[in-house]
Structure 1
Amino acid sequence: MSVVESLSPRPGLRVLVTAGANGIGLAIARAFQEAGARVHVCDIDTQALAVLPDGITHTVADVSREADVVRLFQEAVRLGGLDVVVNNAGIAGPTAGIDEIDDKTWAHTIDINLNGQYRVAHRAAPLLRDSQGLLLNLASVAGRLGFAYRTPYAASKWGVVGLTKSLACELGPEGVRVNAILPGIVRGPRIEKVIEDRAAKRGISYAEMEQENLAKVSMRRMVEPTDIAAMALFLSAPGGANISGQALSVCANVESL
Structure 2
Amino acid sequence: MSGRVLITAGASGVGRAMADAFDRDGWQVWIADMDGAALQAAPASWQRTQVDVSDETAVSALFDEVSTVWGGLDALCANAGIAGPTAPIEDVSLQDWQACLAVNLEGAFLAAKYAAPMMKTAGEGAIVVTSSTAGQYGYPFRAPYAAAKWAVIGLTKTLAMELGPHGVRANVICPGAVEGPRMEGVLEREAAAKGMTRDAVYEGYASGTAMGSFVEGRDVAEMAVFLCSDKARLVSGQVIAVDGFTVNPDPKV
- Both structures adopt the same fold (TM-score exceeding 0.5): yes
Query: Any conservation in 1 of the 2:205–2:214 contact (CA below 8 Å)?
Result: no
1:122-162 alpha-carbon deviations (Å, 9 max, x no partner): 10101111330001111001110010000100000000000
Q: Which of 29, 33, 36 is the matching residue for 2:19?
A: 29
Query: Any conservation in 1 of the 2:54–2:102 contact (CA below 8 Å)?
Result: yes
May I ask how many residue pairs the two structures share in their alignment? 247
Distance 1:69 1:159 in 2: 20
Distance 2:114 2:204 in 1: 41
Per the TM alignment, residue 74 of structure 1 is displaced from its structure 2 partner at its CA by: 1.7
What secondary structure does 2:203 align onto?
helix
The answer on 1:49 being equivalent to 2:35 is no
Distance 2:57 2:97 in 1: 22
Counterpart amino acid of residue 228 in structure 1: V
Q: Name the counterpart of 2:238.
A: 246
Q: Which of 183, 197, 216 is the matching residue for 1:224?
A: 216
Q: Which of 61, 64, 72 is the matching residue for 2:62?
A: 72
Query: Any conservation in 2 of the 1:182–1:248 contact (CA below 8 Å)?
Result: yes
Counterpart amino acid of residue 197 in structure 2: S
Q: Name the counterpart of 1:17.
A: 7
TM-score by length of 1: 0.94
Q: Percent identity?
A: 42
What secondary structure does 2:44 align onto?
coil
Q: Name the counterpart of 2:117.
A: 126
Distance 1:151 1:234 in 2: 31
Per the TM alignment, residue 237 of structure 1 is displaced from its structure 2 partner at its CA by: 1.7
Q: Structure 2 matches for 1:140-159, cutoff 5 A? A: 140-159=132-151
TM-score by length of 2: 0.95
Distance 1:227 1:213 in 2: 17
Q: Name the counterpart of 1:181.
A: 173
Query: Any conservation in 2 of the 1:59–1:75 contact (CA below 8 Å)?
Result: no
Per the TM alignment, residue 54 of structure 1 is displaced from its structure 2 partner at its CA by: 2.2
Query: Any conservation in 2 of the 1:15–1:82 contact (CA below 8 Å)?
Result: yes
Query: Any conservation in 2 of the 1:38–1:79 contact (CA below 8 Å)?
Result: no
Backbone CA RMSD of aligned residues? 0.9
Per the TM alignment, residue 176 of structure 1 is displaced from its structure 2 partner at its CA by: 0.5
What secondary structure does 1:99 align onto?
helix
Q: Name the counterpart of 1:210.
A: 202
What secondary structure does 1:17 align onto?
strand
Query: Any conservation in 1 of the 2:78–2:130 contact (CA below 8 Å)?
Result: yes
Counterpart amino acid of residue 109 in structure 2: Y
Query: Any conservation in 1 of the 2:86–2:190 contact (CA below 8 Å)?
Result: yes
Q: Which of 153, 169, 180 is the matching residue for 2:161?
A: 169
1:91-144 alpha-carbon deviations (Å, 9 max, x no partner): 000000110011100001011110111111110101111330001111001110
Per the TM alignment, residue 202 of structure 1 is displaced from its structure 2 partner at its CA by: 1.3
1:63-109 alpha-carbon deviations (Å, 9 max, x no partner): 11111101211222212210001100110000001100111000010
Query: Any conservation in 1 of the 2:127–2:228 contact (CA below 8 Å)?
Result: no
Counterpart amino acid of residue 177 in structure 1: R
Q: Which runs of 5+ in 1 are unaligned?
A: 1-9
